[in-house]
């Protein structure tokens, strides 16, 4: 015969079973919902990824087309623009990123270019005088300035006259023999220049002698600009721009090559490139005729 305790235990067992069943049912249901939500989320992410991937492919194809167009357009725009132009490309003994590009652009545009290398910063004029320099000035009955800014300006002025006029190369020969200047093939290639492209840098700036030479040659009617490659920020372009010279800081790009030619023709002035102080990527294209 069952007593009250037995009935209570049976009722408790029934309620526990119901409770456990409810809990287990809820967990199973929730797990099913979570699985469904996870599957939906994964599917949505996959869809979005596919859309982004397709958009990237489209953008990449468009970028390649734009790059190809820019290369072709740049070639057409600079063709023949620098006929009868002889440019000196002045570099230092350190990195010369972009110098070969500048020389190629000048050649492609119908001009000629000679690379001149400064063997030491400022040609050493800030500390001493190169061998033979005193004799050069004494022969011409000119009092030579002491080493420093005065001598830098004096030598720059004399060298600018020599390079622009093409009538004399005595100072160039002195500097070459002293080992502070290196010119290609023959000294004659440095005279009769109508343009100077400064690429000689010094501690994130521009070589002081290079700046002085550019200013002196500009005073004699030559086109003088500072240039550097987008791949190597030497500070030359911005330093030249700060000194009042035109400049381009991305000669390795189609826009930079066009800007370089426009500046060398004298059809435009300013600072072009990607620097903070740049006037734009390139000058107005209608101004080169």
Q: Tell me: do 70 and 95 sit in the same domain.
A: no
Position 1 scores a pLDDT of 46
Q: How confident is the model at residue 288 (pLDDT cuts 50, 70, 90)?
A: very low
Are residues 86 and 69 part of one domain? no
Indicate whether 38 and 113 sit together in one domain.
no
CB atoms within 10 A of CB 33: 10
Across the range 275-284, mean pLDDT stands at 88
Q: What is the pLDDT of residues 117-173, one digit of tens each?
A: 999 999 999 888 888 999 999 999 999 999 899 999 999 999 999 999 877 789 999
Last residue of a domain, one of 47, 78, 109: 78
Instruction: Give the pLDDT confidence score for residue 287 in this predicted structure.
Output: 47
Is 222's pLDDT higher than 60? yes
pLDDT tens for 79-102 read 889 998 999 999 987 767 789 999
**CB of 169 within 8 A of CB of 162?**
yes
* 118 and 51 in a common domain: no
Helices of type H across the chain = 4-78, 99-108, 133-139, 149-165, 170-177, 208-219, 236-242, 254-264
The verdict on 69 and 115 lying in the same domain is: no
Q: What pLDDT score does 168 carry?
A: 79
What is the structure's pLDDT at 210?
Answer: 93
Asked if 25 and 85 sit in the same domain, the reply is no
Mean of pLDDT values over 33-38: 65
Are the CB atoms for 252 and 223 separated by under 8 Å?
no
Phi, psi of 198 (to 5 degrees): -90, 125
Supply the DSSP symbol for 146.
Answer: P
Same domain, 63 and 92: no
Q: Domain ends where: 61, 78, 95?
A: 78
Residues 41, 101, single domain; the answer is: no
Six-digit token string for 68: 């190809």
Q: Work out the angle at residue 50's Cα, subtended by the Cα atoms of residues 33 and 42, and round it to the nearest 5 degrees.
A: 15
CATH code of the domain in which 208 resides: 3.40.50
DSSP 8-state symbol, 123? G
* Residue ending a domain, choose from 78, 109, 124: 78
198 and 112 belong to one structural domain: yes
Report helix angle 4-78 to 99-108, nearest 10: 50
DSSP state of 144: P
d(CA 86, CA 101): 15
**Whether 190 and 235 share a structural domain:** yes
The residues pairing with 216 across neighbouring beta strands, listed in sequence order, are: none
Q: What is the mean pLDDT of residues 40-46?
A: 76
Same domain for 70 and 84, yes or no, is no
- Put residue 244 in one of left, alpha, beta given phi > 0 → left and psi -120 to 50 → alpha: left
Q: Are residues 165 and 42 in the same domain?
A: no
Q: Residue 34 sits in which domain range?
A: 1-78
Residue with tokens 């002085």: 212
Q: Given a cut of 50, is residue 10 above it in pLDDT?
A: yes
Domain count, the chain: 2
């Amino acid at each position: 015969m069952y007593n009250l305790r037995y009935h209570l235990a049976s009722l408790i067992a029934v309620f526990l079973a119901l409770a456990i069943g409810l809990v287990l049912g809820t967990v199973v249901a929730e797990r099913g919902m979570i699985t469904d939500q996870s599957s939906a989320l994964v599917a949505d992410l996959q869809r979005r990824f596919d859309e982004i991937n397709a958009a990237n492919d489209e953008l990449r194809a468009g970028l390649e087309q734009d790059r190809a167009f820019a290369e072709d357009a740049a070639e057409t725009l600079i063709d023949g623009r620098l006929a009868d132009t002889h440019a000196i490309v002045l570099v230092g003994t350190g990195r010369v990123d972009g110098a070969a590009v500048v020389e190629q652009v000048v050649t492609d545009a119908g001009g000629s270019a000679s690379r001149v290398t400064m063997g030491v910063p400022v040609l050493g004029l800030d500390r001493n005088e190169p061998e033979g320099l005193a004799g050069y000035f004494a022969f011409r009955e000119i009092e030579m300035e002491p080493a420093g800014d005065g001598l830098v300006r004096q030598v720059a002025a004399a060298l600018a006259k020599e390079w622009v006029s093409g009538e004399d190369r005595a100072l160039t020969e002195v500097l070459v023999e002293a080992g502070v200047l290196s010119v290609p093939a023959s000294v004659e290639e440095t005279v009769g220049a109508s343009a100077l492209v400064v690429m000689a840098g010094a501690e994130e700036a521009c070589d002081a002698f290079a700046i002085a030479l550019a200013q002196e040659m500009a005073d004699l009617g030559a086109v003088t600009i500072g240039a550097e490659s987008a791949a190597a920020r030497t500070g030359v372009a911005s330093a030249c721009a700060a000194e009042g010279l035109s400049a381009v800081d991305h000669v390795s790009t189609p826009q930079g090559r066009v800007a370089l030619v426009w500046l060398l023709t004298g059809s435009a002035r300013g600072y072009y490139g990607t620097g903070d102080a740049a006037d734009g990527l390139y000058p107005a294209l209608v101004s080169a005729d």
